[in-house]
Structure 1
Amino acid sequence: MKNPLKNVSKKKKTLIIIGGIVVICIIVSFIKPKSDASQGVLVSAGTVSRGNLSQTISIKSTVEGSDSANVFSAANYRINSVTVKEGDVVQEGQILARLDADDLTDEYNKAKISYDEAKRNYDNSKTLYEEGALSQSDYLEAKAAYDTSALTLSSFNITENANVTSPIAGTVTRVNATVGKLANGGSGSSSEPLFVIENLDNLQMKVKVSEYDIGKIKVGQSATITAEVLGDVSVTGVVSHISPTGEARDAGGSEMVIPVVIDIDKGESNLIAGVTAKATILIDEVADVLTVPIDAVFEDPSTGETSVFIISENDTLTKVPVNIGLEGDFDTEISAADESGSALLTEGARIVLAPSYELADGMAVTVM
């Protein structure tokens, strides 16, 4: 026989559960947030600022001496001695290495003997020709032999060919010459220079500026130079030369770049040649102007009109037409396009970031 008290207990539990659910639903209905319609369109906000703004172009390149020379030898003799080391300051014409000139001397002596013999033969042939005792063809043959031997002898400049000298004044930055090594005459692409001489008193950077930016670059523009070797210190530079022609950025690419030279004033800094540095070229700058983030500017695609949306204290929008001035990396200079906008476009005013096409005057918004 079933126990009636047990059935009553089950019904009571069921009623309690149902009642609890109803209470929860009532509470949820009171705390449920307002609908999106009553909130208005969700927007992100920024502010109008007042300050200074600059436009720059930054490019990385290697710091070099303003003048440099790769030194080769025209004579392929063994190196007897190297007279300089890296870091030495040298003058134009100073001897950097001496070559083994024994072979050169032997060749010179042979050429001298040939010259002397050709000269005696020429002198005798000339006398006989003038006396009518020698044909013109024999005389001209002797003269040609003499001219050839004289030219050969003059090419044997022992002092010049036996010494490797610096073509410029500067600092020795590389020494590839070693005693006993052949001087490896010639400056073909497969040979390395015996020495590299650079003028480190005057440093420069040769940067490649994109064809899309070159129109902004002018000779005389200032640049700020930074590098790891400088730490938190920077030095100044100035654009000194813009190439009249462009070149391909990459072997298979279509974008062109234009070489630009920046002279560096390193001052008392420890900036050295051969390191990578960044040159930030100042294109233009303005002071004490109103600025907004670049993405706050709305451009109407049908009219080209630019504007910003001001957010009022009661979270409604006012569309303010603006004129765009200098554009920096993140912010842009603006000014009101009319007098009515000037009253609204003030420092600290809230503006919509990344405005969409659905925004309009008087629209209620909710700032995220």
Structure 2
Amino acid sequence: MSTPNQVLASAAQLHQAQLTKPQGSLGKLEELAIWFAARSNSAMPARLQPAIVVFAADHGVAAEGVSAFPAEVTGQMVANFVAGGAAISVLAREAGASLSVVDVGVASNYAVTAGSSAQLFRVPVRAGTANLRLEPAMSEQECNKAWAIGVGSAQEGLVRSKTLLIGGEMGIGNTTAAAALICALTDIDPIDIVGLGTGITAQSRENKVQVVKDALARARAAGAVTAKDWLMQVGGLEIAALAGFYTGAAEAGIPALLDGFITTAAALVAVKNKPEVADWLLASHCSDEKGHRHALAALQLEPILQLGLRLGEASGAALTLPLIQSALALHRDMATFSSAGITTK
């Protein structure tokens, strides 16, 4: 696995010091430019070519009443992504990013219209996971298969000359799986991680907390130890695919921009499994979902934005794209004190 190029980072930092502005006056934008320089082949990174991949799957734990929406919404939203009507569809178009949807385990039937705005890949590992409160969410073989699909999606980005990969997700019940994973991998109590997800009531949240506690106790008794053990026991097919996606991105040397709570849980699995993956991850935002900041802290990532989002789909990451592109444009196109004939301080 390649590592960030610190020589290019130093060159980018030196270039920033020569631009026609007080040093450090562009704050986080300067840091972003240097971060991307270390992960490109130039101290002056070109405009990013982003690819957004949304992984979709259902969750057996939805039967426990942990979501405000019924399970069939997963398939219906996949159709909406493909038709171009979802938030991420709009934001991908606005940002000039390619959008594809990968069905790794949608349980319900859904139809897509001709002339779609996103590519759809149907590669279901199984028709949703088992109920993680009562039994392992998936088998080891199923977990590995979903992971490999994610790795393959990242490798496809390399083939298509993409320079930034963004993972998104869709799956009714997946905040429960993500919360269980974050609790397992950080040792933080479910009361501090479990949130309102799609907008459940406070009473439903109490039930959701108990579901996560029960799942953790069951999986611990079953011998879960490693990140992949926990993924198999309490994760989701789309979360496994995302973990593979981030691992594949790092192996290909392509930066990956995290979205919200679920994608960050997947990133935590990927990093616990292979620590070097962390070098290629950037956090787009901190969502309004209760445990997201804890997951980001565990990854030692500082989010770029905080807008109170909790939609998922890669929407927060897509909203961050114009800001990142602007940071790189400023780095490339601003004059230096020397070229502009301006006296330095």
| TM, length-normalised to structure 2 | 0.17
| TM, length-normalised to structure 1 | 0.16
Higher-Rg member (1/2): 1
Hey, which of these two has a bigger chunk of helix by percent? 2
Hey, which of these two has a bigger chunk of strand by percent? 1
